[in-house]
């Protein structure tokens, strides 16, 4: 790896640490300032004053917000994210376990979408009037209009009527397909347009005039150039996958960070919300750094901007 890339990596990592810290602290403060707290249910159950006070003290709710943020940050240094009031478990264990499940699902969906979308995009972009394009394009347009929340319900309907797909909690096929199909279709559309534009460029025509065979022209010359704008989109895809997985995880009972975050928010589980935000922010920052790195490797011009 060149020195340039190392400087880039270090700079981005420092930025990522700030990003993660701001997101987690914002989540902590937001929940602290929100009406109601983890002891609201105790109060509703008419628990006596001493019990409620004890519970508030246990979760640090009797302390000023800033002091609590400071303590949380010190705890973070020891990888101690506090105790969950909902699950009575250390938050660190819980969010690590769930975060890995979400990361696994997202990475799998991203891989499937790339493996399907990019090659098909090159095919349809290079032969817009061919048989493949006539089949792929309409399917692709329909799938782009199938966001994960719609896709997952359609797949569950398919499972319910035919029994082809497993709907057991933890079954990986339905959530992966629901997340990856619209993404694959989007990547196909983008790669298709980029390929068509690149093939019309003068340098490709010059290569064709020199006698470069068509297959090499499409898959080597044009693919490398057209890949660059499409790779630029990958950083954004990370956020999209996260948003989509919130719906998909909830509907398919996939034990990821999405449902946990929802439960934590509604239950006003202060440290659990902060922990979920922390893990989510780490995953997003990591995804973005990797996406930029791939882009920098593929495009020397990006390396200079970094």
Partner 1 sequence: MTTPGRVGLGILGLLAAMALLAPVIAPNDPSDQFSDRAYAPPSRIRIRDAAGFRAPFIYKHVLEDRVLRLYREDPASPVALRWFAGGRLVSTASESPLLLFGADALGRDLFSRLVFGARLSLGVVLLGTIGAIVLGTLIGGMAGGLGGSVEAVLMRVADFVLVLPGAYLILALRGVLPQVMSASEVFGLMAALFAVAAWPHVARGVRAIVAVERVRDYAEAARAAGAGPIRLVRHLLPAARGFLAVEIVLLVPALLIAEATVSYLGLGFPEPDASWGTMLQDASNVRVMAEAPWMLAPAAALFLVVLGVQLLGSTRASATVLRLGDTRFPLTAATARR
Q: For tokens 């990003």, what's the residue? A: 19
d(CA 190, CA 122): 10
Give yes or no for residue 22 binding partner 1 (CB under 8 A). yes
Q: For tokens 């449902």, what's the residue? A: 259
Q: Which residues pair with 90 in a beta bridge?
A: 83
Stretch that binds partner 1, among 1-9, 55-63, 77-85, 139-147 (CB under 8 A): 139-147
Residues 281, 231: contact at Cβ < 8 Å?
Answer: no
Give yes or no for residue 160 binding partner 1 (CB under 8 A). yes
Question: In terms of CB distance, is 204 or 291 closer to partner 1?
Answer: 291
Burial class for 164, CB neighbours closer than 10 Å (0-12, 13-18, 19+)? exposed
Which pair of structure tokens corresponds to residue 296? 């920098």
d(CA 121, CA 194): 9
Using the CB atoms, write b or e for 270-290: b if 16+ within 10 Å.
bbbbbbbbbbbbbbbbebbbe
Give yes or no for residue 30 binding partner 1 (CB under 8 A). yes
Question: In terms of CB distance, is 42 or 196 closer to partner 1?
Answer: 196
Which pair of structure tokens corresponds to residue 193? 């347009």
Binding mask 200-239 for partner 1 (x = CB under 8 A): -----------------------------xx-xx-xxx-x
Stretch that binds partner 1, among 19-27, 70-78, 119-127, 199-207 (CB under 8 A): 19-27
DSSP type of residue 170: T
Query: Smallest distance from the beta carbon of 278 to partner 1, in angstroms?
Result: 13
| Nearest Cα to Cα of residue 276 among 39, 47, 30 | 30
Among 95, 123, 194, 227, binds partner 1 (CB under 8 A): 194
Among 134, 157, 200, 206, binds partner 1 (CB under 8 A): 157
Give yes or no for residue 193 binding partner 1 (CB under 8 A). yes
d(CA 74, CA 60): 14
Q: What are phi and psi of 86, to 5 degrees?
A: -80, -45
Stretch that binds partner 1, among 4-12, 81-89, 217-225, 240-248 (CB under 8 A): 240-248
Give yes or no for residue 31 binding partner 1 (CB under 8 A). yes
Q: Applying CB under 8 A, what is the total number of residues that bind partner 1?
A: 59
Among 153, 173, 201, 217, binds partner 1 (CB under 8 A): 153
Question: In terms of CB distance, is 277 or 296 closer to partner 1?
Answer: 277
Residues 257, 95: contact at Cβ < 8 Å?
Answer: yes
Give yes or no for residue 275 binding partner 1 (CB under 8 A). no
Among 99, 125, 275, 280, binds partner 1 (CB under 8 A): 280
Give yes or no for residue 113 binding partner 1 (CB under 8 A). no
Query: Smallest distance from the beta carbon of 265 to partner 1, in angstroms?
Result: 3
d(CA 217, CA 303): 26
Of 164-183, which residues contact partner 1 (CB under 8 A)?
167, 182-183
| Nearest Cα to Cα of residue 9 among 224, 300, 285, 240 | 285
Which pair of structure tokens corresponds to residue 303? 């390396």
Which chain residues interact with partner 1 by CB under 8 A? 19, 22-23, 27, 30-31, 33-36, 141-142, 144-150, 153-154, 156-157, 159-161, 167, 182-183, 186, 189-190, 193-194, 229-230, 232-233, 235-237, 239-240, 242-244, 246-247, 250-251, 261-262, 265-266, 273, 277, 280, 284, 288
């Amino acid at each position: 790896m060149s020195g340039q890339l190392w400087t880039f990596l270090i700079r981005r990592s420092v930025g990522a640490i700030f990003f993660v810290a701001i997101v987690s602290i914002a989540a902590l403060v937001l929940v602290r300032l929100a009406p109601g707290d983890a002891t609201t249910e105790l109060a509703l159950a008419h628990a006596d004053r001493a019990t409620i006070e004890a519970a508030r003290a246990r979760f640090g709710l009797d302390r000023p917000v800033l002091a609590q943020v400071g303590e949380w940050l010190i705890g973070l240094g020891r990888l101690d994210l506090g105790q969950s009031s909902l699950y009575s478990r250390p938050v660190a264990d819980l969010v690590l376990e769930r975060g890995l499940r979400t990361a696994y699902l997202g990475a799998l969906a991203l891989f499937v979408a790339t493996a399907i979308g990019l090659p098909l995009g090159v095919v349809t972009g290079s032969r817009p009037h061919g048989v493949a394009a006539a089949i792929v394009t309409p399917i692709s347009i329909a799938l782009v209009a199938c966001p994960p929340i719609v896709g997952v319900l359609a797949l569950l309907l398919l499972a319910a009527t035919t029994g082809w797909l497993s709907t057991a909690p933890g079954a990986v096929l339905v959530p992966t397909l629901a997340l990856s199909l619209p993404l694959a279709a989007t990547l196909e559309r983008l790669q298709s347009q980029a390929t068509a534009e690149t093939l019309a460029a003068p340098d490709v025509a010059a290569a064709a005039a020199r006698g470069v065979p068509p297959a090499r022209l499409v898959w080597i010359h044009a693919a490398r150039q057209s890949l660059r704008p499409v790779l630029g989109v990958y950083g954004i895809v990370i956020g999209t996958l996260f948003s989509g997985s919130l719906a998909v995880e909830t509907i398919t009972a996939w034990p990821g960070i999405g449902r946990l975050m929802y439960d934590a928010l509604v239950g006003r589980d202060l440290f659990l919300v902060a922990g979920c935000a922390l893990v989510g922010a780490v995953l997003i920052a990591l995804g973005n750094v990797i996406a930029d790195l791939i882009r920098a490797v593929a495009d020397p011009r990006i390396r200079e901007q970094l």
